[in-house]
Structure 1
Amino acid sequence: MVALLVISLLFSLRPQRVSSTLPLQSLNQGSKDSATESAPKQDWNDAREVHCSRDRSRAAWKIIEEYLMPFVDKKKHKICTECRLHPDNDMFRDQEQHKTHLDFNDWKCGYCRKRSYEEKYLYQHFDNRHYDLLNVSRSKCMADLCGALHCDHVMDSVSQKSKCNPAAAARNKDMSEALADSCFPINEGASASHLHEFFLHQFCDAHTCSRKPKPFSRGRQVRTSWSIVILVLTILIVLFFYVFVYLYKRGMQTRPQNAEAPLEKWKKEKIFVE
């Protein structure tokens, strides 16, 4: 009986040992499958990397909007799409237009209405969720133009006491002159010729180490938003309307009293005489 019990126990333990090895094999296969699946995910993450600084691109576009475009609009000149300064050549332009600042700590995504309490978290949301909307098919990085547009001067990233590099200054000047030639060709008319000269004085002249002219020598002009102008005019009109109504009602209230005073005085005098 003891022998039979031992034999039965051995037979009962054999399938358990076999079954215990199955999870290990399936685990190994699962690890292999996960390893093979993780490779494409890692390649996808590498493929979505954008080698373009968003901060420097924003600085370049801010310079274009404040130190160039108001003068271009004044001359009623249209920049061609081949010009690197055209808004379509900024890969972050569409995302910037879908960014809404609702309140001090309230930013909203224009694509999916997601809220963020800081601007940097909204940019992280753009990078994670709306990367597919970036046009990275060709070179559209505005940060590449920072050398020609003096982004460091606006961002204060370079100390004023730093030594000037003649090679870098010459390279940035060549880039700036190339922008002037491609965006404002002299043979396209008087406005393009004037803007070509303006661009040279505004950006190119400061790229030198022999003397220290400040960039943006022609000054800056911030384009006025018509919505703000209309809002201010509406507030002034409403204010004048209420002041007029207040003064009119006040005059109507004081006028009957002044008119009735002589009449009452005359009645009293008449009664006294009688």
Structure 2
Amino acid sequence: MRWNMEWFLSLLTVVTLGQLVRCEENRCSRSRSRVARSILDKSFQDIMRKEELSPGTECLLKPERNMYWDDERHKWSEIANNWNCLYCGKSFYNEQFLDKHYDNRHGSTVLTGPEAVCLADHCDYLRCDIIASTKKTSFWEEALCKQKDLLVLRKKCQNIMKSCIPSHITDAEKNSLLDKLDDTVCSFLTCEKYWENPYKEVPPSRTAAYFIAGIFTVFGFIMYYVMACSHLYADEKEFLGDSDGFVRERSKLPDSRRYVSYPTNQGQSIRNRQGMVGDR
């Protein structure tokens, strides 16, 4: 009887852990959804804004269909380490803690039902890991790239873009818009372009470091120039004094007819003229 109870408890533990893992896997990632939303805003939504068009009703990429759309609109951050929940006014040190707060306290704000879309599910063709720089590519990944697999992803991307074309525009406008979306969003799904990041920006901290380094470099060149000029100017002086009583005068004659100075007890120099080398 005791053995049966232990076996039952062990089985119950395994099943419970399995359910928890499955729930975690099926849960839509807020961070990856945020990356996908950022990519779409810079590519898909940017083109739609320029064309002054709205996505079709069946489009999975409509901002309103993002299941975390309302939560993202209720975030406020003035500085990097201060994130505020506009539902209740609480503040957090980073965005991840704010996301957990939404999960724990404001779960009802998440869009559910058939209209809800998890943008993290679109990270495969949007290349979220590449754009977010969370994945470093290796030589072998690029060398062993399978064009056939990327072709499947590109076809998926093109079909989704096609479903987002508004129905009220002309066929010529549809084709033109589809070409722009394909070139901006789907064209990177090739082995040659898959690892490119068209949205990569230099972090502000790195930009400031480059600016400061540039200032120090210019200042160093100026100091070097000033010291070099001072040294050359000193060499051009007519007389130089020594502490041992020598007074050296720059020779006005060729090397073969220079004056040689000898010290005297009175600290004066007696100049003996040396003959020409050729006269020796």
CA contact (8 A) 1:203 1:216 kept: no
Q: Does 1:137 align with 2:118?
A: no
CA contact (8 A) 2:75 2:86 kept: yes
CA contact (8 A) 1:81 1:89 kept: no
Q: Does 1:159 align with 2:163?
A: no
1:147 alignment partner in structure 2: 124
Shift of the 214–159 alpha-carbon distance from structure 1 to 2, 3 Å rule, reads: closer
1:95 alignment partner in structure 2: 71
Shift of the 197–184 alpha-carbon distance from structure 1 to 2, 3 Å rule, reads: same
In the alignment, the residues of structure 1 paired with residue 152 and residue 166 of structure 2 have an alpha-carbon distance, to the nearest angstrom, of 21
In the alignment, the residues of structure 2 paired with residue 152 and residue 215 of structure 1 have an alpha-carbon distance, to the nearest angstrom, of 11
Q: Which runs of 5+ in 1 are unaligned?
A: 1-41, 221-274
Shift of the 92–160 alpha-carbon distance from structure 1 to 2, 3 Å rule, reads: farther
- Secondary structure at the counterpart of residue 37 of structure 2: helix
Return the match for 1:121 from 91, 94, 97.
97
Q: Does 1:197 align with 2:173?
A: no
Q: Shift in Å at residue 173 of structure 1?
A: 0.8
2:8 alignment partner in structure 1: none
Q: Shift in Å at residue 141 of structure 1?
A: 0.4
CA contact (8 A) 1:56 1:142 kept: yes
**Root mean square deviation, CA, Å:** 3.1
Q: Which runs of 5+ in 2 are unaligned?
A: 1-16, 201-280
In the alignment, the residues of structure 1 paired with residue 79 and residue 96 of structure 2 have an alpha-carbon distance, to the nearest angstrom, of 15
2:86 alignment partner in structure 1: 110
Q: Does 1:176 align with 2:137?
A: no
In the alignment, the residues of structure 2 paired with residue 185 and residue 160 of structure 1 have an alpha-carbon distance, to the nearest angstrom, of 40
CA contact (8 A) 2:76 2:84 kept: yes
Q: Shift in Å at residue 205 of structure 1?
A: 2.4
Q: Shift in Å at residue 143 of structure 1?
A: 0.9
- Secondary structure at the counterpart of residue 77 of structure 2: strand
In the alignment, the residues of structure 1 paired with residue 146 and residue 165 of structure 2 have an alpha-carbon distance, to the nearest angstrom, of 28
In the alignment, the residues of structure 2 paired with residue 65 and residue 167 of structure 1 have an alpha-carbon distance, to the nearest angstrom, of 28
Q: For each residue in 1:21-65, what CA deviation from the matched residue of structure 2 results, as whole angstroms up to 9, or x when unmatched?
A: xxxxxxxxxxxxxxxxxxxxx9xx999866111111111110111
One-letter code aligned to 1:128: N
Q: Shift in Å at residue 201 of structure 1?
A: 1.3
CA contact (8 A) 1:77 1:191 kept: no
1:183-262 alignment, distance < 5 Å: 183-184=164-165, 188-189=169-170, 190-209=172-191, 211-212=192-193
In the alignment, the residues of structure 2 paired with residue 128 and residue 213 of structure 1 have an alpha-carbon distance, to the nearest angstrom, of 37
CA contact (8 A) 2:137 2:195 kept: no
In the alignment, the residues of structure 2 paired with residue 126 and residue 140 of structure 1 have an alpha-carbon distance, to the nearest angstrom, of 18
Shift of the 62–143 alpha-carbon distance from structure 1 to 2, 3 Å rule, reads: same
One-letter code aligned to 1:83: C
In the alignment, the residues of structure 2 paired with residue 52 and residue 150 of structure 1 have an alpha-carbon distance, to the nearest angstrom, of 17
Shift of the 187–77 alpha-carbon distance from structure 1 to 2, 3 Å rule, reads: closer
Q: Which has the higher helix share?
A: 1
One-letter code aligned to 2:125: A
Shift of the 179–216 alpha-carbon distance from structure 1 to 2, 3 Å rule, reads: farther
One-letter code aligned to 1:182: S
In the alignment, the residues of structure 2 paired with residue 46 and residue 146 of structure 1 have an alpha-carbon distance, to the nearest angstrom, of 21
CA contact (8 A) 1:52 1:143 kept: yes
